């Protein structure tokens, strides 16, 4: 598989993953029964598996790795923050207010990760401030 095809797959999965998280978060805030649908519980795992697989394949093909490239290290660390905040927002939060707070933090983290990818700068959108 070519690098360009992998990149397109990766970017598509980023968009689907982010949109899916946004939708599930809004449904959570609205107490929607849609969250209990089977496809809503399965699709994010499939999309995120393709997302991670394409990221690993691109890293291997380009020989750019986290902890060797600062911007990739920032993306991986941001991903860990996003995963934890997303889990609290959608599953582990005890109150609606706590879930809403972590939902907002997760969305902001997602946006920052995208900005790191676009700028290839560990500061991402905050690079202009430095």
- Report the pLDDT averaged over residues 79-89: 98
From first CA to last CA, the distance across the chain in angstroms is 38
Query: For the segment 106-118, what is each residue's pLDDT rounded down to a tens digit?
Result: 999 999 999 999 9
- For residues 34 and 23, what is the distance between their CA atoms, to the nearest angstrom? 10
- Report the pLDDT averaged over residues 15-21: 98
59 and 74 together in one domain: no
Q: Could you list the residue range(s) of the whole structural domain that residue 53 is in?
A: 1-63
73 and 44 together in one domain: no
Residue 116 · residue 75 · CB < 8 Å: yes
SS3 69: strand
46 and 100 together in one domain: no
28 and 42 together in one domain: yes
53 and 98 together in one domain: no
- pLDDT confidence of residue 128: 87
pTM: 0.93
The tally of CA atoms less than 13 A away on the side-chain side of residue 68 is 6
Residue 72 · residue 60 · CB < 8 Å: no
Q: Which residue, 33, 63, 93, sits at the end of a domain?
A: 63
- pLDDT confidence of residue 130: 78
71 and 58 together in one domain: no
- pLDDT confidence of residue 1: 79
């Amino acid at each position: 598989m070519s690098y360009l095809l992998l990149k397109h797959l990766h970017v598509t999965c980023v968009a689907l993953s982010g949109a899916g998280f946004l939708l599930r978060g809004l449904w959570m805030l609205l107490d929607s029964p849609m969250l209990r649908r089977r496809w809503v519980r399965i699709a994010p795992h499939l999309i995120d598996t393709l997302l991670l697989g394409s990221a690993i394949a691109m890293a291997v093909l380009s020989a750019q790795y986290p902890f060797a490239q600062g911007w990739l290290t920032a993306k991986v660390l941001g991903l860990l923050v996003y995963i934890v905040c997303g889990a609290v927002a959608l599953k582990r939060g005890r109150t609606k207010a706590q879930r809403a707070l972590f939902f907002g933090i997760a969305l902001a983290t997602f946006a920052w990760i995208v900005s790191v990818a676009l700028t290839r700068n560990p500061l991402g959108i905050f690079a202009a401030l430095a």
